[in-house]
Amino acid sequence: MSTVCVHGLGYIGLPTAAMLANYDHEVYGYDADPKVTAQLADGDVHIDEPGLRAFVTQARESGQLEIVDEVVPAAYHVICVPTPFDEEQKEADVSYIESSGKGIVPVLQEGDTVILESTVPPGTTENTLQPILEESGLNAGSDFALAHCPETVLPGDIIAELQENNRIIGGINGDSTQAATQLYKSFVEGEIRSTNDVTTAEFVKLIQNTYRDTNIALANEIAKLAADYDINSREAINLANEHPRVDILRPGPGVGGHCLPIDPWFLGANSNQLDLIKTARQVNDGMVDYIKQRLINELGDLRGKKIAILGVAYKGDVGDTRMSPGLSLAQSLQQEEETAAIATDGGCDKPEEVAIHDPHVDDDVLNLLDLEDATGSADAVVIATDHTEYENLPVALIADWMSGNTIVDTKGILSRESWEAKGFSVQSI
Ligand code: SAJ
């Protein structure tokens, strides 16, 4: 068993630290944000993820996971910090990786291994992290090992996936790959595949998420085509997927979260070859406008109307609203005033009220309402997230509460017959 210092205690770092501790490593969890370490040191868990609270508590109570206020010496340093995305420039901000590297320099010793898990533009480990770590006077590859092992877990199922998923490890040389593999072998039940080219490992992670984003863009375009031909896109996709070599994903209100809408852009950091990938991004981002148009087709002018949006988490059964399509739709509807200011006819598509509901999101800034208040007097309801709760909504009550009868199901989770039986006009994506 080894000593491990995990840098960054967010969605990936915290469960990873707890996992390593539950596998008997001596783990030190460090986060640059003192609020995070204080909360964790108090026994509180700041991330909404099924099973995480109990998992972290188990690690803390066993004495194998200690939350620390400063970086400590350790045989392994695992960096799990965010790489924020500049939406204007379409660029990754790698400053948290730079500061993690600088934090490791004073404690780095011969024989240690540094592993970067954060998703990064190709070349970041070698061109950004390595020179910083070498300010210690030690050489990467000979004095200490350096590798990239991209995280691959799906929010909502992180603990199981940390253990079960296959992992890719790319070291800057064979020794680095081996040293990193030793650590992951202690808890990963999936296959560990390796490459001695660290940039390949970075690239592979990005193309996995890009594959998914591009596939969803195809599904979204199919959904728009299907609507024009008056056919059910999901039935068509399910039938198409019966072919052994076809696997089209599901359409929806767009793609959210901190991975799929961002990682494809990282591929463009040092290349201008993003054609299909860029178009796919535009198709997915364009779904918000498409849904707005579907609302306008149903309700006519949105002026004076109330629209309720159910689900502002970026996907079902999680509480994370990062880059959420539901939230973008709400914001876009609320911002129509700006369009009105430049409209020659003075027209305005801004609804009177945009109400939002989400049983998984805990947010003081968003004005989240309960189901009755959100749907009460609404002219239309948009299901924007496939939370389990939304599969069994109280149809009769909602019919009473609403003043209109339009329901837009962007996730294909409603039973069309039951809603139509109560007089609803169901618009499916
Ligand atoms: N979505 C669709 N249609 C689908 C599937 C998803 O519209 O058929 C939407 C979701 O509603 C959501 C978005 O795509 O808005 C992203 O959801 P997701 O479940 O596809 O992925 P993430 O962002 O939660 O996690 C992804 C995963 N990557 C892959 O599956 C290749 C996960 O394994 C990665 O660890 C994670 O990105 C990451 O951190 O990179």
258, 283, 308 - which closes a domain? 283
What pLDDT is attached to residue 341? 45
Residue 260 Cα, ligand 1 centroid: separation in angstroms? 6
Burial class (CB in 10 A: 0-12, 13-18, 19+), 231: exposed
Distance of CA 295 to CAs 111, 228, 309, 372, Å? 61, 15, 12, 21
Q: Assess whether 182 and 217 both reside in one domain.
A: no
CA of 224 to the centre of ligand 1 (A): 21
Give a yes or no: residue 304 inside a domain: yes
The atom of ligand 1 lying closest to the CA of 258 is: 23
Q: Which amino acid is at 169?
A: I
Do 214 and 309 fall within a single domain? no
**Domain housing 419:** 286-428
Axis crossing angle, helix 325-334 with helix 287-299, rounded to the nearest 10: 50
Residues 304 and 279 in one domain: no
Residues 270, 394 within the same domain: no
Q: How many whole angstroms from 32 Cα to the centroid of ligand 1?
A: 27
Q: How far is the CA of 154 from the centre of ligand 1 (A)?
A: 7
Residue in 11, 212, 323 to alter for ligand 1 test, most ligand atoms within 8 A of Cβ: 212
Ligand 1 centroid–CA 76 distance in Å is 29
Atom of ligand 1 nearest to the CA of 212: 31
Residue with the nearest Cα to atom 1 of ligand 1? 255
Question: Do 142 and 120 meet the contact criterion of CB atoms below 8 Å apart?
Answer: no
Token duo for residue 154: 């799906």
User: Scanning the structure block, which residue is given the tokens 């009868």?
Assistant: 405
Last residue of one domain, picked from the residues 240, 265, 283: 283
Ligand 1 pocket by C-beta < 6 Å: which residues?
119, 151-155, 208-209, 212, 216, 249-250, 252, 255-257, 259-260, 314-315
Ligand 1, atom 37: closest residue by C-alpha: 259
Rounded to the nearest angstrom, the distance between the alpha carbon of 18 and the centre of ligand 1 is 23
Instruction: Let me know if residue 38 belongs to a domain.
Output: yes
Looking up residue 271, the CATH number of its domain turns out to be: 1.10.1040.10
Whether 107 and 134 map to the same domain: the answer is: yes
Name the residue of 255, 285, 310, 314 whose CB sits within 8 Å of the most ligand 1 atoms, as the mutation to test its pocket. 255
Nearest ligand 1 atom to the CA of 254 is: 7
Instruction: Give the closest residue (by CA) to ligand 1 atom 27.
Output: 154
Inter-CA distances, 404 with 16, 216, 308, 376, Å: 48, 31, 11, 10
Residue nearest to atom 10 of ligand 1 (CA): 315
Catalytic residues, which ones?
205, 259
**pTM given for the model:** 0.93
Domain count, the chain: 3
Per-residue pLDDT, 8: 98
Residue 201 inside a domain? The answer is no
Question: What are the backbone dihedrals phi and psi of residue 26, each rounded to the nearest 5 degrees, phi first?
Answer: -95, 105
One domain for residues 58 and 164: yes
Q: Identify residue 231 by its one-letter amino acid code.
A: I
In angstroms, the CA 146 to CA 130 distance is: 8
Please name the residues in contact with 12: beta carbons below 8 A apart, sequence gap of 6 or more.
Answer: 80, 117, 118, 151, 153, 158
pLDDT per residue as tens, the chain (429 positions): 999 999 999 999 999 999 999 999 999 999 999 999 999 999 899 888 889 999 999 999 999 999 999 999 999 999 999 999 998 888 999 999 999 999 999 999 999 999 999 999 999 999 999 999 999 999 999 999 999 999 999 988 999 999 999 999 999 999 999 999 999 999 999 999 999 999 999 999 999 999 999 999 999 999 999 999 999 999 999 999 999 999 999 999 999 999 999 999 999 999 999 999 999 999 999 999 999 999 999 999 899 999 999 999 999 998 999 999 999 999 999 986 544 544 444 445 799 999 999 999 988 899 999 999 999 999 999 999 999 999 999 999 999 999 999 999 999 999 999 999 999 999 999
Indicate the top mutation candidate among 85, 237, 259, 429 to test ligand 1's pocket, ranked by most ligand atoms within 8 A of CB: 259
The verdict on 147 and 212 lying in the same domain is no
Strand partners, 351: 303
**Statement to judge: residues 231 and 93 lie in one domain:** no
